[in-house]
Chain A
Amino acid sequence: MDRKWWGLAFVLPVVGFLAVFNVFPVLFGFYLSLTDYDLLNPPEWVGLDNFLNLLDDRLFLTAFGNTLVFVLGATVPVWIGSLLAALLFDQGFRGKEILKTAFFLPVLPPVVVVAVVWRMLLHPNGIMTWLAGSFRGVTEIDWLSSTVLAPAAMIVVHDWAVIPFFMMIWLAGLAGIPPELREAAHIDGASPVRTFWHIELPQLRATAVLVAAISTINAFQTFTLQYVMSADGGAGGPANSTLVLGLLVLKYGFQYFRMGDAAAVSVVMFAMILAVTALQLWFNRRAD
């Protein structure tokens, strides 16, 4: 056999697999979003109706708003927090390695574990209530049954779980800065803050865009945290305050069997994620 056909033979298993389990379902999903389909009767073509209906679908608008709030809470504080943590653990001090490892621990458990553990910590009479309320004599806080506290708590839990991960990305970026640059600034007597602002941050531009983009994309896809932590067993409660787009896809698809609507919601999610990716590419190109 000619050598070039070996190359083709080597890539075909993955290409075939991705065609069947990735590309086909995506195209099928686009098609479904233009139909009404309940899994029993054949799909019925409805054009863009599903998307137009979303515009005055209360549940969708709620989920869309909740997702945007979550994205905001899961990006800005994460970007700043993980950068500060990286700058801290980039310093040399006694006991650094062990403290860095302890700080990194939230990266290890799967998201479900994070959600289950925090569900326990946020029990109305639980440990977080004790930490937050005991000095004021408060013994009960309904963290996950409040329409304000529940979404806020999920943002905090998410941020807690991902900040150490992004710290690692920043640290990799910091390690890539030529040491001469930093030393030169140091010898010139530049203050640490000035060195960071004028020497290091410009070098970290790609990392900064990367952290912003990945944290945004991940936040748009949030699902497991809300599914496990919402007070009414994965329905996005209380009063739909933690209903995010990821949960809505599940609700429409596997609870109401409205596959067309579920597909339309997921197409909207895909569009938002693509927009973030495009923005990231644009930022990176502008830097070159």
Chain B
Amino acid sequence: MPIKRGAQPTLFVVALAAAVVFAFPIFVMITSAFKAEEEIQSIPIHWLPHHFQWFARFREAAEFAPLWRYFANSSLYAVVHVAATVFFGALAGFGFAKYRFPGRTFLFFFVISTIMIPFQILVVPLFIEIKMFGWQNSYPGLIIPGMMNAFGVFMMRQYASDLPDELLEAARVDGAGEFHIFLRIVLPLLVPALASLAIIVFIWAWGAFLWPLVIVQDRSMNVLAVGLTNYSQPYQHAPMWGAAMAASTVATVPIACLFAFFQRYFIKGLTAAAVKG
């Protein structure tokens, strides 16, 4: 619906209003992380910190709960999920796209059918299963169950199908083994798709809440998403809004960085994930 040029100032004003409304809570989050505790809830609002403090709220958050430990746990969780999904997703996607083997159609259907499973239906039985493995309240129990997913296979198969068969044949003529072909020829060609997949998996893993909440009881193994609630509703303690906003800012920075540096892949990944259904 291209609107004529005369409408430009109106469009600008409407867009400005929308942007202000949607950015406002993020703005409050970041500025509050650098305010003195008393001025965070001051009315009228302090748009910018009157008593600017670089690290006080962050230090407070790290003293009240193991903030950096949470950060490390979330990083480990996300890195393992990204690495496993990307590598094994690409491997399986390539396998489904370029090889004919008995049971291929059935196995692909098997994989794709898991895309529709919402996590809520998994949480209770998976919890019992992991308990039977003896992995309750442990890093393997926390990290392994969500480590791979069908979405990665589905996405990678589409991209791998587009690779020319002649390329693979040429490598075979040169005597390259099948796994070598995957590692040295296919993976490098899939890099743009892998980047989008890695970003979307990172966003999912970084925000994961329900599974870490139920499977881990030790504070030292909590991920950042679960740890954050320690500040907003601490046990027998008034909410620590300064620490909560500092920790929230810390939890947002990695994703904000991905968005800032890899915007194209970021948008592509999110769009692909939406269309998967």
Contact = CB atoms under 8 A, between A and B. Distances in A.
Given A87-B1, A249-B123, A254-B214, A14 B153 contact: yes
Contacts of B16: 95, 99
B231 A7 contact: no
B95 A273 contact: no
Nearest to A131: B45
A153 interface: no
Nearest to B267: A168
A158 interface: no
The majority secondary structure among interface residues of chain A is: helix
20 contacts: A4-B101, A7-B100, A13-B92, A17-B148, A21-B147, A22-B114, A25-B122, A25-B125, A103-B23, A105-B26, A106-B22, A106-B23, A123-B41, A125-B41, A210-B274, A227-B213, A267-B121, A269-B120, A270-B118, A273-B116
Interface string A84-105: 0101111111111001101111
Contact of A266 (B99, B120, B145): B120
Interface stretch (A48-56, A57-65, A71-79, A113-121): A113-121
Contacts of A94: 8, 12
A233 interface: yes
The majority secondary structure among interface residues of chain B is: helix
Top 8 A-B pairs, shortest CB-CB distance? A7-B99, A10-B95, A110-B207, A102-B19, A29-B125, A6-B178, A25-B125, A28-B125
- Range class of the B interface residue count: 35 or more
- Range class of the A interface residue count: 35 or more
A228 interface: yes
A25 B129 contact: yes
B148 A14 contact: yes
Given A93-B12, A266-B121, A15 B107 contact: yes
A60 to B, nearest CB: 14
Interface in B206-244: 206-207, 209-210, 213-214, 225-226, 228-229, 231-233, 239, 241, 244
Nearest to B25: A117
A108 interface: yes
A204 to B, nearest CB: 11
